[in-house]
Amino acid sequence: MAENEKTAAAPGATAENQNTTAALAVIAEKEKITATPALAKPAEKKLILPGKGGVGSSPPFSIYTTGPVQIGSAVLPGIRNVASNLGSTVRGEPSSGQIYSPIVALYGQKPTAGFQTEAIEEAMSSVGPLGLALSAGSPLVLFGSKWLAGGGIDSAGDHLSISCPLGIVFPRTLTAAHQGDAVLDYEALFYSSDGAADPFTIITTATLPTIPHPWSKWALDYVEIGSQQIYQEVRVSVDFGIRCQGEGADSQVRDQIVSITAVEPRITIASSNQGAILALLGVSGGFTLVLRNRVSGGAFGSSTLTFTATEGLAMQEQPFSASGHRPGELTVQGHVQWDGTNAPVTFTPSGGAY
């Protein structure tokens, strides 16, 4: 056999066997050369979520809670809750017999905000019964106090603030109940200088203002209708009745003016004294609601706050209602009218020390 042959004949092999072995070796060599290599298995794709070290990692974890409210230079304490809303109107409608909406668009926004406070005197001294016009120099600012990890409220200047420079802020309702604290609910409506400018400025680098201290909480004292005092009051609410309306034009998304269109106050009184029943046809006269201040370390102080309506008509809404073994109640609603001169509802602080 030639020296360059790679397959040597086994001892005792026949010529036929040698030829067969050589042929198989040649075929194996060809298959090795022409064989298609196996496709590599694609790399497994992993879902990368923001904040997990991938692209789009989230910012440091932050939580904000209810903070103070500032109107111009006045800082209000006793804030129980705050809220803001852009009031967006988004529309999309199917057409041409289709069941899906081919276009979904923003048509308008009516931004609002609200807050609730127990600091009745400070709030009413800043924003009275007829509300207050906001401006760039005297905006409404809602604060969100940032939690401190491992502590209380962060002392650094990294709190949330929402500043609203153009609009109206006004009291919506005052409520007081037996053995409870009086609470004022405020609402604000905003507009844009040109219909396109943002109504809010939101930042997370704000410094909290200094909250006034001390301040008083207030409790229900008594109510008078005309010259008649209503005894055993269990709940009283004053709806200041301010109605506002915003308007815009030129298909701008936001209103360019917000105005008061009506003021129709009402007072609702719930009493457990059925002997206070009024004439079924109503009683004409004014209304007086008096609150008295609570004092720390005691019960009540000597200060009072008075809400007065000079004229109106009081009607029984429910002469008697009861449920289970609870005391029955008489509900009276007073409708305030204008005397031609004075504001329908006035607020008078006592001026006494806290």
The DSSP annotation for 169-182 comes to EEEEEEEEETTS--
| DSSP 3-state of 263 | strand
- What is the spatial distance between Cα 351 and Cα 353, in angstroms, rounded to a whole number? 7
Per cent of the chain over pLDDT 70 is 81
Output the pLDDT for position 212.
Answer: 94
Residue 353 has a pLDDT of 35
Question: Which pLDDT score is estimated for 54?
Answer: 54
What is the average pLDDT score of the chain? 85
End-to-end, the C-alpha distance of the chain in Å comes to: 123
Give the three-class secondary structure for 321.
strand
Residues in the chain predicted with pLDDT less than 50, given as ranges, are 1-10, 352-354
DSSP 297: T
User: What is the predicted pLDDT for the residue at 352?
Assistant: 42
Tell me, what's the pLDDT at 274?
72
Q: 10 Å Cβ neighbour count for 155?
A: 12
Q: What local confidence, expressed as pLDDT, does residue 160 receive?
A: 96
- Buried/exposed code over 174-198 (b: 16+ C-beta within 10 A; e: otherwise): bbbbeeebbbbbbbbbbbbeeeeee
pTM given for the model: 0.80
Closest CA to 159 of 169, 177, 147, 141: 147
Give the three-state DSSP class for 123: helix
- The helix/strand/coil state of 164 is strand
